[in-house]
Amino acid sequence: MNNWDAIEFAQQIRQKKVSTEEAVCYCIDQIEKLNPKINAVVSKQYDEALVLAKTKSFTDKVFGGVPILLKDLGQQQKGQPSTSGSRLFASYKAAQTDNFVKKLEDLGFIVLGRTNTPEFGFKNVSDSSLHGIVRLPLDLNRHAGGSSGGAAAALSSGMVPLVAASDGGGSIRIPASFNGLLGLKPTRGRIPVGPTSFRGWQGASSNFALTKSVRDTKTLLFYLQTCQMESPFPLPILKKAELENQLTQSLKIAYSYRSPIGNSISKAAKKAMDKTLRFLEKQGYELIEVDQTGVDGIEAMKSYYIMNSVETAAMFDDIEEAIGRQVTVEDMEVMTWAIYQSGQSILAKDFSKTLSQWDQYSRIMSEFHQTYDLYLTPTTTDVAPPLDAFNLSSDLKEKLLHLSEYTMLEQQDLIWTMFEKSLAWTPFTQQANLTGQPSMSLPVYKTKDGLPIGVQITAAKGREDLLLQLAQLFENEQQLEYGFVQ
């Protein structure tokens, strides 16, 4: 079962070659065997899963009986833990089930537990003080990525055939690159939201999954998608044929090796791009190198940090009301405290201007895709980072602890410095979150040491079909190098 994707699991169960209970027990055994070294899974609900496996019929479900893990951030299931990687929520259990999770349950998935994330999903590595570091299954001395790091490690190590994930700035695509997986961030509004939160990080954040086959991604997207009129971003439904059709059109593909914040990329990232471009050229597609899209990468990231600061301050207002007291620096990690404090200083008019910037970025990219069908970049500037890559200096930590003593502009400069090292590793992913475009990381290359790195393909809003048709071509022609641990 180790090499089966979710579709194969469902087919084997449907054909009664494997029972649902056998599938669940197999994945439980894999988690128990692999998790002590990787630290991908932070809560388990085996008893509930086994009851479902023994008593529920899944014959009419597309993913009937398939074991899955949810991300321990924003994917709530009533009565189950939901810590967000935070000490504040170490004992919290969800009061209701999110619409996204309800849809997964409706499709027949059986939840086995939750995967590790950084505190509140703020980092591109998963190392919360509550649950500890998620290690890359292919090299335990490296990070598995974030914020869906536990999800990616669980999938690439073989614990389950598919994992739920989310992406607010690259949190699906970054660990997909590091782990050698497929990572699609859908168009804003494509995936169910609510019933309480409808615009996570002002629409930057989206739930979906990490997968180990194109057919899993296509099938899951088709059955998860919604035109949700109560949400702020309703979308037309994609037709099944649009996802299943072979790629026939002539493509005009823009590409860039250049980081949007101007830092260098590694030899591995260059080789991943070189390999991808050679393949695309062989297919006869028109390839045009562009310097950038027209969006200022540094200004876009500054706007992202402003949004994050304000949203975090609002989140802690709600938390304080729920727990009946003010939060303190002892309640959270220093980086979270700094983001929270910075949100206290940003004026409403400046936040409004930031969101207007995002609308302009969306306009720029809409015009860009009138000329180019797709935009190709590295997903990350290098392979998975060593465990000590992003440690903060003691001097910076001290400044972050006293962030309230600085002006608003000084605070934002310190936030930039706080993320500077980690952003240099992952500068390509955030733009699609601001514009709402679909963007996908493809596992196209491995170094001589066997470490994966991906390329990112971005399409116009609503054009997941184009991304998935191209991904299918890569898979059919054996151009994808998955990072599964054998």
As annotated, the active-site residues are 71, 147, 171
Rounded-to-integer distance, Cα 431 and Cα 453, Å: 19
Instruction: Provide the token pair at 3.
Output: 């090499």
Parallel, antiparallel, or unpaired: how do β-strands 439-446 and 286-289 relate?
A: unpaired
Are 255 and 211 spatial neighbours (Cβ–Cβ below 8 Å)? no
Q: Is 153 exposed, middle or buried (0-12, 13-18, 19+ CB in 10 A)?
A: buried
Neighbours of 84 (CB within 10 A): 21
**Can you say whether the dihedral through the CA atoms of 287, 288, 292, 293 is positive or negative?**
negative
Neighbours of 221 (CB within 10 A): 23
Helix (H, G, I), strand (E, B) or coil at 9: helix
How is residue 384 annotated by DSSP?
P
- Beta-bridge partners for 455: 378, 442
Residue linked to tokens 């988690």:
31
Are 336 and 327 spatial neighbours (Cβ–Cβ below 8 Å)? no
Q: Who contacts 308 (Cβ-Cβ below 8 Å, separation ≥6)?
A: 122, 201, 339
Rounded-to-integer distance, Cα 178 and Cα 425, Å: 11
Instruction: Provide the token pair at 229.
Output: 């009129």
- Quick one: which of 413, 418, 410, 456 has its CA closest to 437? 456
- Quick one: which of 110, 111, 112, 131 has its CA closest to 120? 131
Within 13 Å, how many C-alpha atoms sit on residue 244's CB side?
A: 6
Cis link prior to 175 (omega < 30° from 0)?
A: no
Helix (H, G, I), strand (E, B) or coil at 246: coil
Q: Who contacts 132 (Cβ-Cβ below 8 Å, separation ≥6)?
A: 39, 116
Instruction: Provide the token pair at 323.
Output: 């727990």
Characterise 370 by phi-psi region: left (phi > 0), alpha (psi -120 to 50), beta (else).
alpha
- Quick one: which of 118, 156, 163 has its CA closest to 137? 156
